[in-house]
Amino acid sequence: MKSNDVLEISEILERDQVIYHIMRQCPYEILRGIKVREYKADAFVLSQGEVYDTIYLIVDGELDIYVESEHGKKYYLNTYRKGNYIGELEMFGPYPYISSVEAKTDVRLFEIARKEFLRWLQMDQNLNDYFVRTLCESSYVLCNNMGDNTLYTLKQRICRYLIDSAVEQKKAGPVRINIRTENLGERMAVTQRSVNRVLQQLREKGLIEISGSCIGILDLEEIRREMEKS
């Protein structure tokens, strides 16, 4: 491992409290084997069905997790962000990835060999506790998404997505969400045509506007009411 990797990791730990609390008890013999990787959006991809011998800790950026059918249709599962691990479900095998991973923004990752990560888990109770907790949180989100897909109509789910996106932005003025309709279809596990039909209904009611890959929210409260009565 290059010495500048150790220095870069140390600098990240100094300024990033989230990553610091994960790695604060990491043994030096493990730390010196960790590599820092940076990728542009869409340049980092791990494919469903492939076997990888590395674990990744997300330092910065967002990555989408999705499954792909034999016909090439993508179905969104979750978005991983700072502090999430990639490859945690398959690491005791090693097993083929049950889903694909793709960077949706520029990302910075810590890369560590699978065997070394397993050894780190055995040596570091702080990491062990964090790993178990975040694994449970990710499973909770996945099960919650599966429940939404089963129990709620597409219109309700799209309205909920628009509401949640607006809340995340924390803006007092108009909210604009950058997402292509085909990507929204992947998130909802439905066809693009089905998504377009719901969006068209919301647009005709004056609740949203669509321009290219951008959805503008015109009446958030009415979208809430639309979701509740669907």
pLDDT digits (tens, 9 = 90+) for 142-172: 777 766 666 788 898 899 889 988 887 766 5
Q: What is the pLDDT of residue 16?
A: 96
Give the Cα-Cα-Cα angle 187, 157, 150 (nearest 5 degrees).
85
Question: Do 16 and 81 meet the contact criterion of CB atoms below 8 Å apart?
Answer: no
Same domain, yes or no: 91 and 13 = yes
Say whether both 157 and 145 belong to one domain: no
Domain end call among 118, 150, 182: 150
Query: CATH number, domain at 115?
Result: 2.60.120.10
Instruction: Give the number of other Cβ atoms within 10 Å of residue 99's Cβ.
Output: 20
Q: Do 11 and 83 share a domain, yes or no?
A: yes
165 and 187 inside one domain: yes
Query: Which SS3 state, helix, strand or coil, does residue 65 take?
Result: strand
Q: Are residues 105 and 122 in the same domain?
A: yes
Q: What is the pLDDT of residue 1?
A: 42
Pick from 150, 184, 206: which residue ends a domain?
150
Number of alpha carbons in the 13 Å side-chain half-sphere of residue 38: 4
pLDDT reported for residue 17: 96
Q: How far apart are CA 82 and CA 62, in angstroms?
A: 7
**Whole-prediction pTM:** 0.72
**Residues of the domain holding 35:** 3-150
Domain C-terminal end among 150, 184, 219: 150
Query: 158 with 120, same domain?
Result: no
Whether residue 127 is found in the same domain as residue 174: no
* Average pLDDT of adjacent 10-residue blocks, the chain of 230 residues: 77 96 95 96 95 96 88 80 93 90 96 95 95 87 71 86 82 74 78 88 92 87 85
17 and 114 share one domain: yes
> Do both 64 and 133 map to the same domain?
yes
- Tell me: do 197 and 129 sit in the same domain: no
